[in-house]
């Protein structure tokens, strides 16, 4: 159980930290606040930072070990650094410091997860057409799973149909919380749909590559999460009306959506969770700064009431969380996703809850400023809250953890 990063990983983490400190943080506050519900653009300064990051080799670092050679050959520095999950974890934490960072380093969800799906399950043709431009940063993609009409926490509820019709697949239905669909560069949707209602519960659904401009695909509206539209990515509600794509667009063949989704989620949850650690660290950093620099009732805020206790609790919670995630990453690396199901669900539950609590304290010590967009706290807080639902609500993950725990005592479900 060795969490020490390799020398290469340590260097990359440091480089990412420096880049964020020197290049991204100064830009953060200069960017205009996005203007709400609509089509968005990517500010030229951000595109410039992406080029710079890529030039420095800080690009696609999420790409899992084992593929670096292949992509190094094709893309030079674009090919990732061959980091294990445990090695990438501190890089992910570093990128959590700023909301801009993951995109700047081409390491943002859902493109990372989509890229991994294509890498592991995609056919050579699928990889040529979609994976290359994704890794290249030329296009963005979205992931369409949740549906407005059913409780999607039980993914088998999904009822958008993806029916095989000769050498085509026909999609009909509606998705929402399709993250990334608002991005001006979005070209691809990965859509989960019901193919064979008579098959086994976990073999009914397929994962289909749907170009965004396919006839019948319509972004009905963009959704806000607590007032924030998360521009320029956004979360869309998308309707599919008699949408036809070639059968070869089905990833790994019909009926394998759940199998693919499961493999997609382990590393992605480590990324998410470590980014939340970075976010919580920033919140605590801001809380300490504010707590020492502002004065009320004759004392620095940090010395009033229970504030020091809350700083201590935040430190305990963050450190515990980081170690829990490092351990899950290490287990994913050494024993694989199946053996790590409980650990991955544990971090899925723990990370947003810890982050939300730390950020809440940071907001409180900032007073009104903490509620506004002058600081990244309000957005961070709502983001952490939203992740308690995204990729499966807390309750579902607690169920997984308990099932595995009880199985050790003989329970059969």
Q: Interaction with a copy of itself in 72-101: which residues (CB under 8 A)?
A: none
Q: Could you say which of 306, 335, 336, 339 contacts a copy of itself (CB under 8 A)?
A: 306
Select the span of 97-105, 122-130, 132-140, 301-309 touching a copy of itself (CB under 8 A): 301-309
Residue 402 is inside which H or E element, if any?
helix 394-407
Neighbours of 152 (CB within 10 A): 19
Under the criterion CB under 8 A, does residue 65 sit at the interface with a copy of itself? no
- Stretch of residues binding a copy of itself (CB under 8 A), selected from 116-124, 163-171, 204-212, 373-381: 373-381
**Segment 271 to 300, residues that bind a copy of itself, using CB under 8 A:** 284-285, 288-289, 291-292, 294-297, 300
How many residues in the shown chain lie near a copy of itself by CB under 8 A? 98
Residues contacting 36, CB < 8 A, separation 6+: 229
Which of the residues 29 through 58 are near a copy of itself (CB under 8 A)?
33, 35-37
> Minimal distance in Å, beta carbon 283 to a copy of itself?
13
Complex with a copy of itself: residue 125 or 154, whichever CB lies closer? 154
Measure the CA–CA gap between 319 and 322, rounded to whole angstroms.
5
- Choices 17-25, 97-105, 273-281, 309-317 (CB under 8 A): range interacting with a copy of itself: 309-317
Q: Is 370 in the site for a copy of itself (CB under 8 A)?
A: yes
- Spatial distance between the Cα atoms of 109 and 96, rounded to a whole number of angstroms: 12
234-266 exposure pattern, b = at least 16 Cβ within 10 A, e = fewer: bbbbbbbeebebeeebbbbebbbbbebbebbbb
Strand stretches in 101-167, DSSP E: 140-144, 161-165
Residue 168 is given by DSSP the state E
Q: Output 131 or 332, the one with its CB closest to a copy of itself.
A: 332
Which of residues 63 and 100 has its CB atom nearest to a copy of itself in the complex? Answer: 100
Q: Which is nearer to a copy of itself, 182 or 254 (CB)?
A: 182
Q: Which of residues 324-353 bind a copy of itself (CB under 8 A)?
A: 324, 326-327, 342-343, 345-346, 349-350
Q: Choose which of 191, 219, 223, 265 interacts with a copy of itself (CB under 8 A).
A: 223
Expressed in angstroms, the distance from the first to the final Cα of the chain is 30
Which distant-in-sequence residues (6+ apart) come within 8 Å of 329 by Cβ? 84, 85, 86, 88, 89, 270, 274
- Give 264's contacts (C-beta < 8 A, 6+ positions apart): 113, 116, 117
Quick note: the x/- pattern for a copy of itself over 161-190, rule CB under 8 A, is ---------------xx-------------
Q: Within positions 131 to 160, which residues make up the interface with a copy of itself, using CB under 8 A?
A: 146, 148, 150-154, 157
Q: Within the chain, what is the greatest distance between any pair of CA atoms?
A: 77
């Amino acid at each position: 159980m060795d969490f020490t990063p390799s020398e290469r990983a340590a260097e990359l983490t440091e480089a990412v930290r420096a880049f964020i400190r020197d290049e991204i943080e100064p830009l953060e506050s200069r960017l205009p606040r996005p203007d709400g519900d609509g089509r968005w653009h990517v500010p030229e300064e951000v595109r410039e930072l992406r080029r710079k990051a890529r030039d420095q080799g800080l690009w696609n670092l999420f790409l899992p070990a084992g593929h670096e050679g292949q992509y190094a050959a094709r893309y030079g520095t674009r090919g990732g650094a061959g980091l294990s999950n445990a090695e990438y974890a501190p890089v992910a934490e570093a990128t959590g410091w700023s909301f801009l960072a993951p995109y700047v380093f081409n390491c943002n969800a859902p493109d990372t997860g989509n890229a991994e799906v294509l890498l592991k399950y995609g056919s050579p043709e699928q990889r040529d057409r979609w994976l290359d431009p994704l890794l290249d940063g030329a296009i963005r993609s979205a992931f369409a799973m949740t549906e407005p009409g059913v409780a999607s926490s039980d993914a088998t509820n999904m009822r958008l149909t993806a029916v095989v019709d000769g050498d085509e697949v026909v999609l009909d239905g509606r998705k929402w919380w399709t993250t990334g669909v608002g991005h001006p560069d979005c070209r691809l949707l990965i859509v989960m749909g019901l193919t064979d209602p008579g098959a086994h519960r976990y073999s009914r659904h397929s994962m289909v590559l749907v170009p965004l401009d396919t006839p019948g695909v319509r972004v009905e509206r963009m959704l806000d999460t607590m007032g924030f539209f998360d521009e320029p990515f956004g979360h869309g509600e998308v309707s599919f009306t008699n949408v036809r794509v070639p059968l070869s667009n089905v990833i790994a063949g019909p009926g394998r959506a759940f199998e693919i989704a499961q493999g997609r989620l382990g590393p992605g949850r480590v990324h998410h969770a470590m980014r939340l650690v970075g976010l919580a660290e920033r919140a605590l950093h801001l809380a300490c700064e504010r707590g020492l620099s502002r004065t009320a009732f004759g004392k620095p805020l940090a010395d009033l009431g229970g504030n020091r206790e809350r700083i201590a609790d935040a430190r305990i919670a963050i450190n515990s969380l980081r170690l829990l995630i490092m351990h899950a990453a290490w287990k994913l690396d050494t024993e694989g996703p199946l053996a790590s199901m409980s650990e991955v669900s544990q971090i899925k539950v723990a990370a947003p809850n810890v982050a939300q609590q730390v950020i809440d304290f940071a907001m409180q010590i900032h007073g009104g400023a903490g509620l506004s967009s002058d600081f990244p706290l309000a957005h961070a807080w709502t983001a952490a809250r939203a992740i308690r639902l995204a990729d499966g609500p807390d309750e579902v993950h607690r169920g997984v953890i308990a099932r595995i725990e009880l199985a050790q005592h003989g329970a059969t479900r």
